[in-house]
Amino acid sequence: MLYTLRIVWGVFLLYAAYFPAVMAHKVAEGNTICSNITILYEIADAMECLLHSFEPVASLERSQVNFLVWKYQQILDTFKKAQEKAWNDFTPKNCPTPLAPSNGGLVCVTIANVRYCKPMCNQDYDFAFLRRSRLYEECGQHTGYSWTTQLVGGSRLADCIASSVAVSGQKSAYFHPNMNCQQTMANATAEKEHIRIFLQELAKKDIAEQHEANYDYIICG
């Protein structure tokens, strides 16, 4: 199976690299490829092979590599735009979109028209400032629709810095080993689990009424 996929992928790479004009024409001509979402997942499966075997990439010519970097960068930019658009969709509308820390992320929920975001760091990272008694940051009418933060200015809620120990935050403020923010966000089950934990933590502080579940999600830096 893996071998077949590799051959299919190899043929695709060579085809794409040698005949970009033909490919572009084909895509424009029949939008059957463009409108078929199944294909996006098939490409993702094929790419999984590349992540585990560098061989096909190593065998490409320099200009082929350059072509593919350019193509994939464009695709990645398109997906990132869609992702950011989704991250802007929450209430209260007057609050700016918070910036997630690099090497970590934010678990965000809206309750009674207040936005709560819990900063989290990936494994091997820790918060730049002690925040053990400060689980989350918030934005709402009571904050003048700006974010509370330990950092100076703006909507950056926390920094995650390289560290062999994770001691500056509460235990639940760290992503699981081998499951960083991006992986968690890409897995609906794992994402829900983090949101459930955060909602429980808020409920302990009597923040639970008027929960707007449509705006529960994780964003990554």
Ligand X SMILES: *[C@@H]1O[C@H](CO)[C@@H](O)[C@H](O)[C@H]1NC(C)=O
Rg of the chain taking only CA atoms, in angstroms: 21
Question: Does position 141 bind ligand X by CB under 6 A?
Answer: no
Question: Does position 31 bind ligand X by CB under 6 A?
Answer: no
Question: Position 8: which residue type?
Answer: V
Q: x/- binding map, residues 76-115, to ligand X, per CB under 6 A? A: ----------------------------------------
Whether 117 and 168 have beta carbons less than 8 Å apart is answered as: no
Question: Does position 189 bind ligand X by CB under 6 A?
Answer: yes
In the complex with ligand X, the residue whose CB is nearer, 6 or 163, is 6
Cα(139)–Cα(143) distance, rounded to whole angstroms?
6
In the complex with ligand X, the residue whose CB is nearer, 42 or 89, is 42
Of residues 36, 66, 123, 214, which one binds ligand X by CB under 6 A? 36
Question: Does position 187 bind ligand X by CB under 6 A?
Answer: yes
* Phi then psi dihedrals of residue 117, to 5 deg: -130, 130
CB of 56 to ligand X, least distance (A): 21
In the complex with ligand X, the residue whose CB is nearer, 35 or 133, is 35
Whether 31 and 78 have beta carbons less than 8 Å apart is answered as: no
Cα(65)–Cα(60) distance, rounded to whole angstroms?
6
* Phi then psi dihedrals of residue 120, to 5 deg: -135, 145
What residues make contact with ligand X under the rule CB under 6 A? 32, 36, 38-39, 42, 187, 189-190, 193
